[in-house]
Chains A and B, each alone.
Chain A
């Protein structure tokens, strides 16, 4: 990493933020950021992902006065009309108050982080940057009497036209005992200039609660995104998750799951479809602190062009977390010899009565299967598409929100079409 954040410009940007309930937290986060800096290639967790491009965008945006514009309604509606969800909208880091006001449901309470007594945490890489520049965040509280007709959609949409821009989004979800809800975190973008979006989502599951959570990222090739999803599970709670990365320039997802109670389940999966010079990095970490509990993860990726992807799956079974069952799998198809995957399973086990497994594969499409399909009258290009589709569909099929699976399948098909066209060039 060659560049550094220009801290004076950052300080002046933080200073010009409103003097609201987040002001003290912003100052404290800025101090920590100043001290610690952003993660770099020397950090074990960041050795494959260089934030240089992100820092350059940030510095350019800070130098130009750290301006924020609004996202056009038409851009927002293009996304919100594509999925039947109850939408909350955050455009260029600014929460759309109307979308919050419009969403009144029994068992659902949505507030702003600036109006809470407690400040958002920033004790993780990039979370300090998130808080320092955070305009405001959403606090979503759900109780057991919440019964939604459709999942909640949280749209993180960014649009940069006049110059490069940067946005921070923050969402805190609190699930009361026995509460259940489904969420779709959607990342979209438009515009002709580069953008860097940084999001932090905290999900706190009280005993016997359940969250189904799908993240869809379909940003433009000019936009980079880093995101941290932190999940805390109490007794008998369940977290079901799938993450899909289709677009973006540099994408880094950190999923951090803490199992703090017995009989919990964390089932999560991911699909990344990358081409050209995209960089998509998925880092997952599960801390099994109490047993018995189960975590299951499966990530899959298809890479073409000069795409580079990272999957690093870490499971830590802490002393005393007996009865832990932790399984991880990562499978990759490389369509070009210029693409690269860095796959790293990591198991750290400090308890005795534990079942853990991991498996990673990297390969090309099976030539024997392609020939078999050809002998049944299917041309090679269709056969390739069919096999890639089948490979990717597995993750759609295990994604937790049934009502949007078909829409995700369509996005997968569209993206695979682009990968195949690109691979032929």
Chain B
């Protein structure tokens, strides 16, 4: 589904990703872990198509297409979803409006009619109930005045409504209290599906107690330095990230 080969990317002239390779198949959940500055968020932004990040080498193929050739909106319509570490506030743009516009953009790409207003509302409310969200959030500006936890729930709500093929969740656990973490994890687990792949970008092992990954990768210095099963996350929790510096330099 997603093949990343020798990816190199820089931001503001600083090289962040230095030859990252990763292969992801439908149905799999991959956790990308690593210390601050290792390139985790850069990877997420590059997959989503943020042009502030310059790809200087390597390739990313998604469903047999060159992903890097597509605009961010084209990637989204093909089922690539990024859950932001810092979801953006957009005052005045109604949350329900965005949700519906996003869904219709995807449906239109798939050759489907626009969803009717009643069906949309039913769908949105059903997903909100799953995430323990007050339906009032639909009528507010996108993330406008939301708390950190509300913003993250809103990201997962968008994911739940859009049903992406590939979801990249960037530090979805940061800033969440334990209840919020639980309902967010529940939302993610509900979306696990043989046709869908999920990439969890996280600094801490905590999230992985609630969403069990199939694979864990350790990112350091812009490269994957170790891959393994979920036990690797526990090992990291125990040993910290310091040992990686030696591995990366060596």
Contact = CB atoms under 8 A, between A and B. Distances in A.
24 contacts: A367-B52, A369-B88, A371-B88, A372-B84, A372-B87, A372-B90, A374-B49, A374-B71, A375-B48, A375-B49, A375-B75, A375-B76, A376-B98, A376-B105, A377-B76, A377-B102, A379-B71, A380-B71, A387-B93, A389-B92, A391-B92, A393-B92, A394-B91, A394-B92
Interface of B: 48-50, 52, 71-73, 75-77, 81-82, 84, 87-93, 98, 101-102, 105-106, 109, 141, 158, 162
Nearest to B89: A369
Contact of B106 (A372, A377, A389, A393): A377
Contact of B90 (A377, A387, A393): A387
A405 to B, nearest CB: 15
B90 A374 contact: no
A278 to B, nearest CB: 24
A372 B101 contact: no
Contact of B88 (A372, A377, A379, A390): A372
Contacts of A387: 90, 92-93
The range of chain A's interface size is 20 to 34
B102 A378 contact: yes
Interface centre among A369, A380, A389, A393 (most CB of B within 10 A): A369
Nearest to B106: A377
Nearest to B75: A375
A378 B97 CA distance: 12
B93 A377 contact: no
A373 interface: yes
Given A366-B90, A367-B52, 17 more contacts: A366-B88, A371-B52, A372-B90, A373-B93, A375-B73, A376-B105, A376-B158, A376-B162, A377-B101, A377-B106, A377-B109, A378-B73, A378-B98, A379-B73, A387-B92, A390-B90, A390-B92
Given A375-B48, A379-B71, A386 B93 contact: yes
Given A379-B71, A390-B93, A373 B49 contact: no
Contacts of B162: 376-377
Given A372-B84, A372-B87, A377 B92 contact: no
Contacts of B105: 376-378
A373 B158 CA distance: 12
B93 A376 contact: no
A371 B91 contact: no
Interface string A337-354: 000000000000000000
Given A377-B105, A378-B105, A371 B72 contact: yes
A368 interface: yes
B77 A377 contact: yes
Nearest to A368: B88
A352 B84 CA distance: 48
Contacts of A389: 92
B51 to A, nearest CB: 8
Closest 8 CB pairs of A and B: A390-B92, A377-B105, A374-B72, A376-B102, A377-B76, A372-B88, A374-B73, A390-B93
B87 A377 contact: no
Given A366-B88, A369-B88, A379-B71, A374 B93 contact: no
Interface centre among B73, B84, B141, B162 (most CB of A within 10 A): B73
Contacts of B158: 376
A307 to B, nearest CB: 22
A390 B91 CA distance: 7
Interface centre among A377, A380, A389 (most CB of B within 10 A): A377
Interface in A372-425: 372-380, 386-387, 389-391, 393-394
Contact of A378 (B48, B87, B101, B109): B101
A290 B248 CA distance: 72
Contacts of A372: 84, 87-88, 90
A396 B205 CA distance: 48
A253 to B, nearest CB: 24
Given A371-B50, A371-B72, A376 B91 contact: no
Contacts of B84: 372, 375
Contacts of A393: 92
A371 B88 CA distance: 9
Contacts of B88: 366, 368-369, 371-372
A374 B101 CA distance: 11
A376 B92 contact: no
